[in-house]
Amino acid sequence: MGGTDVRSLSLLPLLALALSFGVARAEEEAPKARSVVLAVIVHPKNPVSDISFSELRAMLKLERQFWPNGRRAVLYLRPSETDESQVLLDRIYKMTPEKLQKYWVGKLFSGEIPAKPSYVPTAEAAGSRVSVQEGALSIVLAGEVPKDVKVLTIDKKKVDDKEYALSGVIEPASAP
């Protein structure tokens, strides 16, 4: 007879359950875009409390290397795979990590900067450097601001203000 086997029909609910579990599990494991807010940290004695976005960009690109009090700015960056770096690459540098490295080497060999920025592995390490070096600045996640540093406002906006300039969305990396 050309009909469907009754045993096959009884397995359909189990098959549907297994498939729905697999789909739900895949959705749970799929990386999701996330919002990131960054904080600009400086030494507590730094005379600057607010910086314009254009001044910040110039400082982070080392186009401007001195604070208003004449002290040299020393930049500490996070590694390129961190959320901090991803937002800076998108909002400030507008280049890939590889192009940023070439940018630093070009500025160094042309004599425009005395040294490339140093990289620090954690927000705590950034805070340790910034808290003891009066001209230092770094960028950390707003939720990881270390103690003994000052957080700058940008264009008079605090990190929790809606129009704060150093926020972004990190999209999950696409599969190869």
**Which tens digits make up the pLDDT trace of 87-106?**
999 999 999 999 999 999 99
Mean pLDDT of the chain: 86
Please state the domain count of the chain. Answer: 1
- Of 56 and 5, the structure prediction assigns the larger pLDDT to 56
In a domain, 104, yes or no: yes
Residue 175 banded pLDDT, cuts 50, 70, 90: very low
In a domain, 155, yes or no: yes
In a domain, 42, yes or no: yes
Give me the pLDDT at residue 167, please: 85
- Please give the single-letter amino acid code of residue 83: D
Give me the pLDDT at residue 76, please: 97
Give me the pLDDT at residue 49, please: 96
In a domain, 29, yes or no: no
* Chain segment 27-68, per-residue pLDDT in tens: 556 678 888 899 999 999 999 999 999 999 999 999 999 999
In a domain, 109, yes or no: yes
CATH number, residue 165 = 3.40.190.10
In a domain, 23, yes or no: no
Residue 153 banded pLDDT, cuts 50, 70, 90: very high
Give me the pLDDT at residue 34, please: 83
pTM over 0.85: no
Give the structural domain span for 145: 34-170
Contact 77, 117 (CB under 8 A): yes
In a domain, 25, yes or no: no
Query: Dihedrals φ, ψ of 136, to 5°?
Result: -75, 150
Instruction: Please state, in angstroms and as integers, the Cα–Cα distance from residue 140 to each residue in 65, 114, 148, following that order.
Output: 20, 24, 14
Q: Which residues contact 167 (CB under 8 A, 6 or more apart)?
A: 35, 36, 37, 38, 87
In a domain, 22, yes or no: no
